Structures are given as C-alpha cells and as structure tokens.
C-alpha cells in the first residue's frame, strides 16, 4: 500500500531500499529466525546510522537487547530538519511498509513493547495517512497483541509531533521533547541506550536506518554488504535540490562520486555542492571527484547544488541565519558563536572586515566544533569554514570586498 505513490518512477529506482519488498515480510522473517539471528544479520550487514553520525546500528541494538529492563522503547527519529533533506518525507509517504516493519522488527528484537515516531511538526499533514496505515497494520495483526499469532510478542506504535525546533533532531533533545520538556540536549553519558525515554533503555534510529532493516532481515546481511564500499555498506538516499534539472530523492550506492551524482540529476555549470545540508561541508568543483561515503564526504543525505551564478557569501549568510535562529541557547559556544560568525559575514558583505578579525572567527569556529554541547553547535561552523576556505577567490578578490557581485 502506498500512501502517495504518484512520484515519477525514474526517481524511485534503487538496488536496496527501493528494491521490491512486501509488507510484513521482515516481521515474519524476524519472528521465524529469532532475536539472536536478527542481531547477527544486522551486524553482518555493517549498517550504520543514516542520520549522519554513522554509529553502527547493530552495536546500538545489542546494547539495548542486553539490558534486563522491564520496559524499553524504540524511537524513530522522523524530525529531519536539515535544510535540503526530504528523504523521510518520501520514505514515510511512499514506503511506510519499510519504516513501520523496521520499527516492529526492532521492537521484537530488543524486547520493547512500544515504538514512538517523533514526526517533525512541519509534517503534520502526513499524520492522518500515517495513523490510518498503523490502523491497517493493527487489523492485519502486524501491530497490537500477539503479533502474527506469536504469544510473546505484543507491540504498538504511536506518533508524536514536534513543534518546530530543529535541535530536536538530536537524539537526547528529542527525548527531552517527548518527555514534555524544552528540547535541550542532555549531557552524555548516560546514553539513551541505557537511560533514554522515561529513563528506560531506548534505541533512537533515523527513519532511513529503520527502513533498511526489513531488507536486511529478509535478504540477509551478506546481501546488503555487497552494495556500497567496505566501510559504508548498502545504499543511501540523497535529497537533491538547488541548481539541477531533476531535483528529488535518489537511491545511490555509497561510494558514488559527486560528479556522477551531478550527472544523474542533470546539473550544469556547477561550482559548489553542499554535502550534508547547512551543517555539512561545501565542496568546490576541484573536489568533485570525492565520493559520498562515511570514509570521505559523509552525509545524512542532503545535497544542494550551486551553479556559477550563485554568490557563495549569500549562501553562507542563509546558513548562519538558520543556526542563529535554531540554536537552543543552552551553551555559550553555540549561542554566542553563531551570532559572531553571522556578524563576520555581514562585515565581509560590507567590506569592513580585517584579516585578523577573520582569523579570530576561524579560531572561534574551531572552538565551537569542540566545545559545543550537541551536534548543532559542533557542526554549524562547518559551512563557514569550508566556504571561506574554498571560495577565497570569489569572496576576497573577484567580487571586491565581501562578494557583492550584483547577484
């Protein structure tokens, strides 16, 4: 069943995630082979978290599986807020069977009774369709009591909505938000696998990670590993936007070169590619040979393309404004740092900067990367540092002071 199966097929071909799958198969297979074997297949597959951090999924699951706690939770992080990312939208609307079967398999394997989807507030319009889908799963005994007749497996899924805070995509902030608090990142340790939602062991997985699970269970870890590279197994969904003919969601194998991706999506006169959204890195033309993989240009999937006509300083300003707004304000390096970086960009635009000021800002960026409490502040200087480094010519020379080239 597709909730919104009207997308051009050309964009939805792929070897792994978008290969054929029948609803419920993953759950059936998991019940058949048992918990231990699910974990073994998962380990064999070398699946890593698709949110961007790339933590081995099997390791996370094993930590929770090993815990003796009465209560455990599976949380599906559907709070994708990285500018330029929309793969969850496609997965949830067009491939709900993958996402939900993945959550149920996780529930079975880890001994949890409840799964929670934390859906970003911006996706509220999907709620009804997703609730209906869950209801159908209950009718088909894929959710609820004694799933598929299994006397000791009962599990259900609830959907919770976010309310417009980018930082809630960070897993501990997400848990705070679920518990009814401000979405502020927690100090770690303890990690959610030990003390997560309601103080219970909790696995927090990205939508795409969970969507990979049913395929791995059905076809095996060995099969999954055949795709991609040694360190980055399987495939990856890329959300492509910006200057190209065919924006959209693509499934490509890990290890695909940036220049090949550009070819596929019909990008012309590209001067830069932002890999990983606002918090990612900006790759200049000279490096389009780089591959998209954990071991090279790692990414949660956002690819933004800029052609020759774009002013990179303007791009950078948009990113920094985003971070100034979205910083939760809890820790100083991020709260103050982002504002300072934005001020620096304004100086560059006006041409009132000095190089020693800029060097101080670069230092500040590096300090933020190590001293911020959560991923937001740790990665927000990435764009600043990489754009300043890679587009020196444009920013300092060609456009005169501050890159005002009339665009």
Partner 1 sequence: MLVLEKNSLTEEVESLVDQYGTERSALLPILQAVQRKHKYISDFVQQEIARLLDIHPVEVYSVVSFYSFLHSEPQGRNIVRLCQTIACDMSGKEAVARAVERELGITFGQTTRDKRITLEYANCLGMCDQGPAMIVNDKVYTHLTPEKAINILNEIK
Shortest Å, Cβ 334 to ligand SF4:
3
CB under 6 A: which stretch of 146-154, 204-212, 303-311, 374-382 binds ligand SF4?
374-382
Select from 330, 357, 369, 405 the one that contacts ligand SF4 (CB under 6 A): 330
219 phi/psi in degrees, rounded to 5: -100, -10
The tokens describing 48, both together, are 């890593």
Number of residues that bind ligand SF4 (CB under 6 A): 14
Q: How far apart are CA 161 and CA 159, in angstroms?
A: 7
Q: How far apart are CA 170 and CA 300, in angstroms?
A: 13
Among partner 1, ligand SF4, none, partner that 374 touches (CB below 5 to 8 angstroms by kind)? ligand SF4
Q: Which is nearer to partner 1, 83 or 284 (CB)?
A: 83
Q: Which stretch binds partner 1 (CB under 8 A): 95-103, 174-182, 254-262, 348-356?
A: 174-182
Burial state string for 163-198 with b = 16 or more CB within 10 A and e = fewer than 16: eebbbbbbbbbbbbbbeeeebbbbeeeebbbebbbe
Is 342 a residue that touches ligand SF4 (CB under 6 A)? no
Q: Is 236 in the site for partner 1 (CB under 8 A)?
A: no
Q: Judged by CB under 6 A, which of 57, 232, 327, 382 binds ligand SF4?
A: 327
Q: Which of residues 131-160 bind partner 1 (CB under 8 A)?
A: 160
* Nearer CB in complex with partner 1: 272/385: 272
Residues 114/38, Cβ–Cβ less than 8 Å: no
Both tokens of 136, joined, read 């159908």
The pair of three-digit structure tokens given for residue 135, joined into one six-digit string? 């209801």
Among partner 1, ligand SF4, none, what does residue 175 contact (CB within 5–8 Å per kind)?
none
Q: How far apart are CA 359 and CA 361, in angstroms?
A: 5
Select the binding partner of residue 122 from ligand SF4, partner 1, none (C-beta < 5 to 8 A, by kind).
Answer: partner 1
- Taking the complex as a whole, the smallest distance from the CB of residue 380 to ligand SF4 amounts, in Å, to 8
Radius of gyration of the chain (CA): 22
CA 149 to CA 142: how far, in whole Å? 10
DSSP conformational letter for 395: I
Identify which of 122, 123, 57 has the alpha carbon closest to the alpha carbon of residue 92.
Answer: 123
Count residues binding partner 1 (CB under 8 A): 51
Using alpha carbons, select from 81, 170, 173 the residue that is nearest to residue 122.
Answer: 81
Span interacting with partner 1, options 28-36, 114-122, 143-151, 358-366, rule CB under 8 A: 114-122
Q: Pattern 148-177, binding to ligand SF4, x per CB under 6 A?
A: -------------------x----------
State which H helix or E strand residue 129 sits in: helix 127-139
Near partner 1 in 258-297, by CB under 8 A: 274, 278
CA distance 301 to 290: 15
> Residue 26, Cβ neighbours under 10 Å: how many?
26
320 touches ligand SF4 by CB under 6 A: no
Closest approach, Cβ 175 to ligand SF4, in A, equals 14
**Among 84, 360, 351, which residue's Cα sits nearest to residue 244?**
84
- Do residues 306 and 318 touch, judged by C-beta distance below 8 A? no
180 lies in the site for partner 1, by CB under 8 A: yes
Question: Rounded distance, CA 74 to CA 78, Å?
Answer: 12
Is residue 10 within 8 Å of 88, Cβ to Cβ?
Answer: no
Nearest approach, Cβ of 76 to partner 1 (angstroms)? 16
List helix spans (H) across 197-294.
207-219, 221-225, 258-265
Output the CA angle 58-61-62, nearest 5 degrees.
85
- Within 69-98, the residues that bind partner 1 by CB under 8 A are 80-86, 88-89
Q: Is 303 helix (H, G, I), strand (E, B) or coil?
A: strand
Check residue 125 for interaction with partner 1 (CB under 8 A): yes
Q: Which stretch binds partner 1 (CB under 8 A): 205-213, 287-295, 311-319, 361-369?
A: 311-319
Least distance between ligand SF4 and beta carbon 371 (Å)? 9
Residue among 185 and 210 whose Cβ is closer to ligand SF4: 185
Residues lying near ligand SF4 in the complex (CB under 6 A) are found at: 167, 185, 327-331, 334-335, 372-374, 376-377
Residues lying near partner 1 in the complex (CB under 8 A) are found at: 80-86, 88-89, 120-125, 160-166, 177-183, 198, 239-243, 247-249, 274, 278, 304, 306, 310, 315, 318-319, 321-322, 325-326, 328
């Amino acid at each position: 069943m597709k909730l919104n199966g009207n997308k051009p097929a050309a964009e939805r071909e792929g070897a792994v995630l978008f290969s054929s799958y029948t609803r419920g198969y993953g759950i059936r297979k998991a019940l058949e082979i048992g918990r231990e074997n699910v974990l073994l297949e998962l380990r064999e597959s070398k699946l890593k978290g698709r949110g961007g951090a790339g933590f081995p999924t099997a390791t996370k699951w094993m930590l929770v599986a090993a815990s003796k706690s009465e209560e455990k939770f599976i949380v599906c992080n559907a709070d994708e807020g990285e500018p330029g990312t929309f793969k969850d939208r496609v997965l949830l609307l067009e491939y709900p069977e993958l996402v939900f079967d993945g959550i149920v398999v996780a529930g079975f394997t880890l001994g949890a009774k409840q799964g929670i989807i934390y859906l970003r507030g911006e996706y509220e319009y999907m709620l009804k369709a997703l609730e209906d889908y869950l209801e159908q799963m209950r009718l088909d005994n894929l959710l609820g009591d004694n799933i598929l007749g299994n006397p000791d497996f009962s599990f259900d899924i609830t959907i919770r909505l976010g309310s417009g805070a980018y930082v809630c995509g960070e897993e501990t902030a997400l848990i705070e938000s679920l518990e009814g608090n401000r979405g502020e990142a927690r100090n770690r340790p303890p990690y959610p696998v030990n003390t997560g939602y309601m103080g219970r062991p909790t696995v927090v997985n990205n939508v795409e990670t969970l969507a990979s699970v049913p395929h791995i269970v059905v076809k095996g870890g060995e099969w999954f590993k055949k795709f991609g590279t040694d360190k980055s197994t399987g495939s990856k969904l890329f959300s492509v936007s910006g200057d190209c003919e065919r924006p959209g969601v693509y499934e490509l194998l890990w290890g695909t070169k940036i220049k090949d991706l550009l070819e596929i999506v019909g990008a012309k006169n590209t001067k830069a590619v932002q890999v990983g959204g606002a918090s990612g890195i900006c790759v200049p033309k000279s490096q389009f040979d780089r591959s998209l993989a954990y071991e090279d240009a790692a990414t949660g999937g956002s690819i933004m393309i800029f052609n020759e006509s774009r002013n990179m300083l303007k791009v950078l300003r948009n990113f920094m404004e985003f971070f100034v707004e979205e910083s939760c304000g809890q820790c100083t390096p991020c709260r103050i740092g982002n504002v300072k970086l934005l001020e620096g960009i304004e100086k560059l635009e006006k041409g009132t900067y000095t190089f020693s000021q800029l060097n101080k800002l670069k230092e500040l960026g590096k300090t933020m990367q190590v001293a911020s409490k959560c991923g937001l502040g740790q990665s927000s200087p990435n764009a600043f540092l990489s754009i300043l480094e890679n587009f020196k010519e444009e920013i300092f020379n060609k456009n005169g002071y501050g890159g005002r080239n009339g665009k």
